[in-house]
Chains A and B, each alone.
Chain A
Amino acid sequence: MIDVQNLTKRYGQTTVVDALTFTVRPGAVTGFLGPNGAGKSTTMRMMLGLTRPDTGSARIDGHAYHELTYPLRHVGALLETSAPHRSLTARDHLLWLARSNRIARGRVREVLEMVELAGVARRRIGTFSLGMGQRLGLAAALLGNPPVLVLDEPVNGLDTEGIRWLRELLRSMAAEGRTVLISSHLMTEMSMVADQLIVISRGRLLADTGLSDFIQRHGRPYVRVRTPEPERLARELQRNGASVTRSPDGGMDVVGMQAAGISRLAAAVGFPLDELSTHAGSLEETFLEVIGEEAIDGAAADGAAAGGGAIGEDGRNTRV
């Protein structure tokens, strides 16, 4: 369990993380989403004791990271900005990590085999490809068999097979009751692996909810329709208040009328339907929608702030 309370980080005038509060629960994969510069990496670094928050705290199973005895046995972490020394071999890198946290030596071989680097264990890390470096980072995160995983962009550089392997690994870790937090900018990937979502933008929390709840609440469901008479059906639908988007493959996406209504309307006017299916909207579209709204609201709030400084400051706090 990761408990983030009122976490704030400023660099000069810029507030990178703004009074964030959320909880990452065990037994699920939690996706950490936000546009570039939203403060995801900074938040993760604060969880791991690398960056000092200005206010608030991040606790892992009740402890600040630096209070953990042999932390690698509690938390497995992968950060974009951390990199092992290039002249060490993969094996030596994992060996010193194991030694620093009194993890059995045999575990080094195990994790090297898990990430399929056993064959290059004695090669210097400087000679590794991006994907191999990423696998080594994952091996380091798994080394202490930790109940909590914090992974920043873990699929970066992995090939299709590697991504699939990681997806299954994360799902099985969560099924074992571990806490798994991952950030990714790949929405399709995220929608395949995450159960829970934490969405932030400009350092502020936008959503902390289940993946399907998020899409249901913020996404736009649409109905896919295909008919030999697209133009005439579209006209009928629009006359009845639905909005229609024609797609190049001859089908159309209908918003504002449910499948049952469309089916009855088509039957009444005598058009056959070749396809009629309801879609929940993708995570990507929903995410962009939510981020877009926030950007507009944010711009409005900033405009108000420019009008009167003191009020703007208050407004910002109440918005959170």
Chain B
Amino acid sequence: MSETFAAVSAETIKLRGIRGAHLSLLLFALVSILIAALDGWSAKGALDSGNPSLRADFTPQQAGLVGVLYGQLALIVFGVLVVTSEYTSGMMRVSLLAVPRRGRLYAAKMTVTAVAAVAVAAPVTVLAYLVTQLALGSHGASLGASGVPRALAGAVVYLTLMCLFAAGTAAIARNAVIPLAVLLPMVLAGTHLLSLIGAAKEMTRYFPDQAGRELLNVDSPHTAFGFTVLLAWTVAALVWGLVRHLRWDT
């Protein structure tokens, strides 16, 4: 067990030193909070002027969770970079010399990735919510409003699982290009557009991001469903990634 702790501890130092990793985490925080502020500010303008351009289902509580949905792009980049920085630099061979049990190395890396994602996602999610409410001014809701703490916790779970899903796909592909080319458009627009097509709508419910988004919906009746589907995708990606890692012949 202590060998595993040593491996986790070593991964932490690596993570601190790899520049792309910090930058993407920093970007996650900046984008989330900036979008949260803009979203609250524009909604306030609409509400004040009685502008009907707001969505019918607009609530200040839900608006507070929009920022991190954009920020997640950076968190996906983080998950991908943490894994692929090893394969593309020849670092993986050094890592395997230090920690030759491949399952242990993989578990250590994914643990550190998850911990980093939670550690950043939790405060940023709460902060982004508060920023939106602040920007909404008198229309803002409180942090303790009905269903909000649960949706905020759900958002942290969602973000962490998406980050790990990205890390898993990166371990499958062993390069950054393919996972990013698939995941970023998917999260940004793809499945949302697909869901507009009637026939595809039923299917997109089972996509990781669409299913997982139920976790962020205040008072969603489908939270358990969304969580289960996203968890299944994440576990599948991580297991496949592990199999690829175990079989990797340098």
Residues of A within 8 A of B (CB): 45, 48-52, 65-66, 68-72, 75, 77, 79, 81-89, 92-93, 95-97, 99-102, 140
Contact = CB atoms under 8 A, between A and B. Distances in A.
B91 A83 contact: yes
B85 A85 contact: yes
B13 A51 contact: no
A140 B95 CA distance: 11
Nearest to A92: B17
B51 interface: no
A83 B89 contact: yes
Contact of B100 (A45, A52, A68, A96): A68
A242 to B, nearest CB: 53
B250 A88 contact: no
Interface string B80-104: 0000011001110110111111000
B98 A51 contact: no
Given A52-B249, A82-B97, A100-B98, A95 B91 contact: no
Interface string B1-41: 01100110111011011111000000000000000000000
A89 to B, nearest CB: 7
Contacts of B17: 85, 87-89, 92-93, 96
B97 A87 contact: no
Interface in B84-129: 85-86, 89-91, 93-94, 96-101
Contacts of B19: 87
Classify the interface of chain A: helix, strand, loop or mixed: loop
Contacts of B96: 49-50
Contacts of A68: 100
B94 A140 contact: yes
A257 B85 CA distance: 63
Contact of B13 (A69, A77, A81, A95): A95
B89 A86 contact: yes
Interface of B: 2-3, 6-7, 9-11, 13-14, 16-20, 85-86, 89-91, 93-94, 96-101, 249-250
A8 to B, nearest CB: 14
Contacts of A100: 6-7, 9-10, 98-99
A68 B97 CA distance: 11
Contacts of A71: 97-98, 100
A102 B98 CA distance: 11
Contacts of A102: 2, 6
Contacts of B98: 71-72, 96-97, 100-101
Contacts of A140: 94
Classify the interface of chain B: helix, strand, loop or mixed: helix
Contact of B93 (A79, A87, A92, A99): A79
B7 A82 contact: no
A95 B14 CA distance: 9
Nearest to B22: A87
B249 A51 contact: yes
Nearest to A76: B97
30 contacts: A45-B250, A48-B100, A49-B96, A49-B100, A51-B249, A52-B249, A71-B98, A75-B97, A79-B97, A81-B90, A82-B91, A82-B93, A82-B97, A83-B94, A84-B90, A84-B91, A84-B94, A92-B13, A96-B10, A96-B14, A96-B98, A97-B94, A97-B98, A99-B9, A99-B13, A100-B6, A100-B7, A100-B9, A102-B2, A140-B94
A260 B81 CA distance: 72
Contacts of A84: 89-91, 94
Contacts of B16: 92
Contacts of A70: 3, 6
A97 B10 contact: yes
B99 to A, nearest CB: 6
Given A52-B249, A96-B14, A72 B89 contact: no
Contact of A66 (B2, B13, B14, B101): B101
B209 to A, nearest CB: 29
Contacts of A49: 96, 100
Nearest to A70: B3
A79 B96 CA distance: 12
A151 to B, nearest CB: 12
A45 B10 CA distance: 23
Contacts of B13: 92, 95-96, 99
Nearest to A137: B94
A97 B11 CA distance: 9
B90 A83 contact: yes
A85 B91 contact: yes
A87 B85 CA distance: 10
A66 B249 CA distance: 14
Given A87-B18, A100-B10, 14 more contacts: A66-B100, A70-B3, A70-B6, A79-B93, A82-B91, A86-B89, A87-B20, A89-B17, A92-B17, A93-B17, A96-B13, A99-B9, A100-B9, A102-B2
